[in-house]
Amino acid sequence: MSDHLAVMLERAKDGVRSFGLARWIIVGFLLLIWFIAGIFTDNDLGTLLGDCLVRSGMNGLLVLALVLPIRAGSGLNFGIPLGIVCGLVGGIFSLELAAANPFGLSWLSGVESLSRGGSGFLIAHAVALPLSALLGLGFGWLLEKVRGQEMMVGIYVGFGAVAGMCVLWLKAPLTSPELIWPIGGDGVRNTIVLQDYYKWILDSWGEVSFGSFAPGALDPQGNAPAFTRSGGFYLPTGLMLFWLGACGLMAVFLKTRLGTALSAAGENPEYARSIGIPVARMRRWSIVISTMLAASGIIVYSQSYGFYQLYKAALWMAFPAVASILLGGASLRRAGVMHVIIGTLLFQSLLTTSLPTVNSLVQNSPYREGLANLPEIARLVIQNGVILYALSRASRGSR
């Protein structure tokens, strides 16, 4: 009997150990924040937990986009802003259909209804996915040329894509009054409200909420991302299903013949070559799929956020995603779907809860201006720290 117990204890210990010390620290920290938030501040814990889920669902696809390049041996794909701008192009395309003469083309008029609701969401994808596949192909080709420096080149490709799009946004041939600058002239606005199009198209599908739910309330501080759902626990059922469904598909894909070949190519290219796997093609495909996932990811993100943010908003978006998957236990060479799910939930929960908690804790302090920056500083330390940690252990396994 005691033997049985010992075995179970050993199993439990293994489980705890395999979760990793770093993750336990983060979990402990998270629990501490929730504890403080529940007891010492007037924040509603239910609301915070709901926000954690929303934030995770929003960012989840962008994190999932990182899995394949890691497995195929290209490292962390810092170039996902390339996919993000493709997603934004698709999104803006779908919104422009609401104009009287979309793109100034009279034969396109009368399709306004297409831009609203589910069809708008689908059209955004229909434009974004082929575009991102195409650019992903080019990106993959480029990475093959700079073998060994994928991550650094990826960072600059991401930056370059965002910066290049800044110019294109200014010159985009759009006519919808909701897209172009209100003062007139060329170019798209910085932020486009999705309220009348497909805001929460996923979030609200089968949504569950407890407590008072008041959509539209703005963040009182104004500096935080505007979580407009406040007052009570909220489960964005459709959003979570979409994300977890994508994760499930990825998990299945990794267990197919192609997924196996791709992982083998990443783990040992020499080996893969010796059994006839086209290693370079595997890496290229991984980048294509990653870029497509990023494109879809930003559309999902925006429908939940309620806005498309253009211009420089996508500049730094690779970093939180990269930090998430690393926090979930991935390394530069190994990544799985569980790393995505655990990492996204942990990282986003930490961000989502620490900000309002610290804000309410320090609101009566004479130093509140400075102290209010603490969560942002903590975010930067964690985000960049975890990336630095992973890079410094490049040659070793996870943990």
Q: Which of 179, 170, 182 is nearest to 115 (CA)?
A: 179
Which residue among 255, 364, 366, 392 contacts another protein (CB under 8 A)? 255
Q: Smallest distance from the beta carbon of 132 to another protein, in angstroms?
A: 21
Q: Cβ closer to another protein: 210 or 271?
A: 271
Residue 1 in the binding site for another protein (CB under 8 A): no
Backbone angles phi, psi at 20, to 5 degrees: 95, 140
Interface stretch with another protein, choices 73-81, 254-262, 358-366, 383-391 (CB under 8 A): 254-262
Nearer to another protein, 128 or 325 (CB): 325
Query: Toward another protein, which CB reaches closer, 109 or 260?
Result: 260
Print the binding letters for residues 188-227 with another protein: x by CB under 8 A, - otherwise. Answer: ----------------------------------------
Return the number of the residue (99 or 335) whose C-beta is nearest another protein. 335
- C-alpha dist (Å) from residue 102 to 94, 110, 192, 248: 10, 9, 17, 37
Of 242, 274, 288, the closest CA to residue 57 belongs to: 242
Single residue of 189, 273, 281, 379 touching another protein by CB under 8 A: 273
Q: Which of 260, 365, 373, 384 binds another protein (CB under 8 A)?
A: 260
- Binding another protein (rule: CB under 8 A), the pick from 257, 366, 369, 395 is 257
**# binding residues, another protein (CB under 8 A):** 20
Residue 209: both structure tokens together: 């909420």
3-class DSSP state of 180: strand
Cβ nearer to another protein, comparing 270 with 369: 270
- Do 189 and 181 form a contact (C-beta atoms < 8 A)? yes
* Position among 2, 145, 182, 274 found at the interface with another protein (CB under 8 A): 274
One of 277, 280, 374, 378 touching another protein (CB under 8 A)? 277
Q: Which residues contact 21 (CB under 8 A, 6 or more apart)?
A: 399
Largest CA distance in the chain: 80
State the Cα–Cα distance between residues 225 and 223, nearest whole angstrom: 7
CA 126 from chain centre, in angstroms, equals 20
> Which positions from 328 through 347 interact with another protein, judged by CB under 8 A?
334
For residue 384, what are its two tokens? 């960049």
Distance separating alpha carbons of residues 107 and 208, to the nearest angstrom: 42
> Residue 395 Cβ, how far from another protein at the closest point, in Å?
12
Residue 106, exposed/middle/buried by CB under 10 A (0-12, 13-18, 19+)?
exposed
What's the CA gap between 75 and 311, in Å, rounded?
Answer: 27
281 near another protein, judged by CB under 8 A = no
CB of 112 to another protein, least distance (A): 39
**Is 364 buried (19+), middle (13-18) or exposed (0-12) by CB count in 10 A?**
exposed
Nearer to another protein, 145 or 255 (CB): 255
For the bound state, the minimum distance from the C-beta of residue 333 to another protein, rounded and expressed in Å, comes to: 8
Q: With respect to another protein, which residue has the nearer C-beta, 55 or 339?
A: 339
**Residue 145, interface with another protein (CB under 8 A)?**
no
Nearer to another protein, 334 or 368 (CB): 334
Rounded to the nearest 10 degrees, the angle between the axes of helix 80-96 and helix 279-305 is 50
Among 151, 264, 300, 340, the residue binding another protein under the rule CB under 8 A is 264
Give CA angle at 201 (127, 61), nearest 5°: 65
Using CB under 8 A as the binding rule, the residues of this chain from 356 to 395 that contact another protein are none
Name the residues that contact another protein, by CB under 8 A. 252-253, 255-258, 260-261, 264, 267-268, 270-271, 273-277, 334, 397
